[in-house]
Structure 1
Amino acid sequence: MFAVIKTGGKQYRVAANDVITIEKLDGAAGDKIEFTEILMVGAGADATIGAPFVEGAVVSAEVVDHGRAKKVIAFKKRRRQNSKRTRGHRQHHTIVRILDIAAAGGKAKKASKKAEAAAEEAAN
């Protein structure tokens, strides 16, 4: 089973025991957190797609560590002006381990009218 979660303005496809790097979250290492903005949950044909989120679905995770990404250099130069500027930036991030995906309360996707008609004909 997998889920697509939304955090930090990005979307991540996660499964149980995955370790992912996301935008910085509050909390110390070892703290438990829950993601409630679940866009999709399930596996294969049993997947539930939210509109925009799946109601009642929760992904539990544990904060493993906090860190900073590699330095990104922003260099500006104006030619023939003896003018240049160098700036560096290191983005903060949080490493989390996905513990559990709970799809309780998620609404099942309705079958189309053609599929319902085909099922009725097969039953008769």
Structure 2
Amino acid sequence: MQKDERGFSVVEILIAMFLLALVAVALLPALWQGLRYSSQQSAVATATRELNALVEEARDTPTCPNLSAVAVSKTVTDGAGRTISTSGTVGSCPVTTKTVKLALTAVDSSGTTLATTTAIIYVP
């Protein structure tokens, strides 16, 4: 058997494994950061969906009492079990004008604002 037909030696395999381990260790922080960012964006998406649902609820029944009910503080839980609280403010109900400003905010349990929205609701 000739020297170039023997295959890889144990030393060559160990060096290759060591280099692969170095690359894996170098990529771990990026992977971890990606997982954290994905989790945060999931919470933002849930908060945004909830605020959009509240605006649609306000537009479905555009009365002053319903707008006040939509703005009352509510709590939802996202898929990861995090608590998200929504609250809002309602502008003055129409006497002469027919529109009301509705501002909604969603915050997580640590107080970080995840999403905000403002809508103008037509009250017939």
Taking structure 2 as the reference length, the TM-score comes to 0.25
TM-score when normalising by structure 1: 0.25
Higher relative CO (Cα under 8 Å, sequence separation at least 6) belongs to 1
Larger CA Rg, structure 1 vs 2: 2
